[in-house]
Amino acid sequence: MAGRRFLDTNVLVYAYSSTEPDKRDVAVALLGQEVVTSSQVLGEFVWVMHRKFGVPNDVLSDIVVGMGEVFEIVEVGTAAVRKALRLCSDHGLPYWDGVVAASALLAGCGELLTEDFQNGRLFEDRLRIINPFAG
């Protein structure tokens, strides 16, 4: 079921910060694999890295360009918003988490790598939540 893997914001943040070295090592290793993320996740990443860690916008721009060269970035459009709203209604997700899950489903991913959802949770019988930082 695994197939394509979708990265959530927290994985990207750990990869580019030094606050938790063990999580950073795991996240950096994931960036070297064939992965997918979304324009929403990139936006959240930029906001966190600038606001919390003070990374300048020009540096973030270079990082985002580099990410686009290494892995697939899917755009969040109307289909993702509609699917997110259904996931929120069906599963009680907060809206932005619903958009992440919807984007992963629409991208054909079998795994959503994040620490923000319940590890092992399954959406639509095809998207499994995996916490890559769980022991």
Please give the domain boundaries of the chain with CATH numbers for all domains. 5-130 (3.40.50.1010)
The tokens 């958009």 sit on which residue? 99
Residue range 99-125, pLDDT digits in tens: 999 999 999 999 999 998 889 999 999
Look up the pTM and report it.
Answer: 0.93
Question: Is the model more confident about 32 or about 132?
Answer: 132
Model pLDDT, residue 8: 97
CA dihedral 87, 5, 67, 99 (to 10 degrees): 0
Quote the CA–CA distance of 2 and 109 in Å, as a whole number: 7
The answer to whether 64 and 55 have CB atoms below 8 angstroms apart is no
Return the structure tokens found at 117: 């959802």
User: What sections of the chain are H helices per DSSP?
Assistant: 9-16, 21-31, 39-53, 57-70, 78-91, 95-106
Cβ-count burial 115-128 (b if 16+ within 10 Å, e if not): bebeeeeebeeebb
pLDDT of 121: 92
Whether the pLDDT of residue 135 is over 80: the answer is no
pLDDT tens-place string over residues 44-60: 999 999 999 999 999 99
For residue 2, name the pLDDT band (cuts at 50, 70, 90): low
